[in-house]
Structure 1
Amino acid sequence: MMAAPAPLTSGIVIDGRYEVVRPLGAGGMGEVYAVRRKSLGDEVALKRLLPHQDSPSNRARFATEAQAAAHIRHPNVIQVFDYGEDPAVGPYLVMEKLDGPTLAEELADGPIALGRALWIFSAVCAAVEAGHRRGIVHRDLKPANVIIAPTDDGRQVVKVLDFGLAVDLRLAARDITTPGAVIGTVAYMAPEQTEGNPASARSDVFALGVMLYEMVSGKLPFEGKSSLDTLMAINGGRYRPVKEHVPHVTAGVIE
């Protein structure tokens, strides 16, 4: 049985190379820290599994995240620098540290202006296309996995992250997903995902459409009182046209 990784506190040095500075946040499976690279003195982000999520299957999924992101070289995909395992910390992933809000946080204030929404959408599409060219399907595209980060020249850049559910279609035999398992975030799933069938590039395209609808209208196209209701709405193709939420939206956006 694997020992639970120790809590990370400021000053701890991981693998002799990364000094923990401060926590940045945590999700359902992992937690992220700002760390200082001792060789360069700069700050990067280090992600590791939460102690109660440290299982063989999650370790495999964590490695998938590192490998998928590392194989996609694109300005709109988060850059991965390193992957390793420390006896006291467990497996870890080192990536660029992004300081901007997530798209989900921006959407908390309501719909996004059409021009900005299309700019974000185009960048996310470019990132997804880069993955598809490599045979990599993200499978969990959603606003929480998109960050709008500031750049040193005062601009902003859109970054797609969290490839923990990604699958390399060229290596389908190595997919660790249990056959028939429902993988992803319900509101953004394509019909085939809701039925437990394998995801494809088209599944990502479906999620992109849901995200654009949400950015323009501030609403999700498929909603229900429960996850099951939402799954049924997706499978039945039942949604309100975006023009009902935003009457002035141009035809080119909704077609």
Structure 2
Amino acid sequence: MARSLLRRIASAVELDLRWTSARLDSMGAPESYISAIMRDDHHDEPSLRALLSLAGTAVERALDQPLRLLRERGAADSVFVWPGQHYRLLASIVELLKPQTVVEIGTFDGASALALLENLPVTGRLVTFDVVPWSQVGQTLLRAQDLDDGRLTPITGDLCRLEVFEAHAELLRTADLIFLDGPKDGEFEPCLMSRLGTVGIRPGTPLLFDDIRLWNMLEFWHTLDLPKLDVTGFGHFTGTGLALWEEERI
């Protein structure tokens, strides 16, 4: 009897999701995903002020970002949509922070890397991680010459593998900005955050999270115990989160 009841519940949920997907499709948006709305009451006022100040200034500057590197590479028109895509916001935050070391987790086609490079100081460096070598991504926007001046370093490796993480622990510890755009599989992100808590990242270091509104990221973002701010309305339509590192809360 219990098994029969569970089967009926599961069938109802599946039917409801199919109906929801059909409703989304009927709205005619270029992309649509099933997400949820959750209330979050965990705010620490001093940290919130710092987050609001950083986000507010970055948003103000975002519209004027030319994204020259992406235009030169013939990136898709959708890349330049803002708000809706996060590339202008990424470039704006780098312009504002002037970081010497940026770590990106999730290279894929290199679009985000080029946005982060847009305003990176000439003495700065961007290290970008992925499990697939950048040169093997068919639609990559990166070129071999991008590596010539040492500002961009692609690394192939899974940071949730202990040996890979330990090999790059000093890099992560000294990063001035970390952008997490990983697999969103419900495992990698919690694993990485747990490991980051062991290396002594400087308190106040900004972390950017992509796709926080996607279904697999909802619990991760909701339970992330850091000062945080959802800036989706000014970033990626699938969710953009901004947080500040506080080691004692990890």
Q: Tell me if TM exceeds 0.5.
A: no
Please classify the TM superposition score into its range, dividing by the shorter chain length. under 0.3
TM-score of the superposed pair, with normalisation by structure 1: 0.26
Structure number having the greater helix percentage = 2
TM-score normalised by structure 2 residue count = 0.26
Q: Which has the higher contact order (CA 8 A, sep 6+)?
A: 2
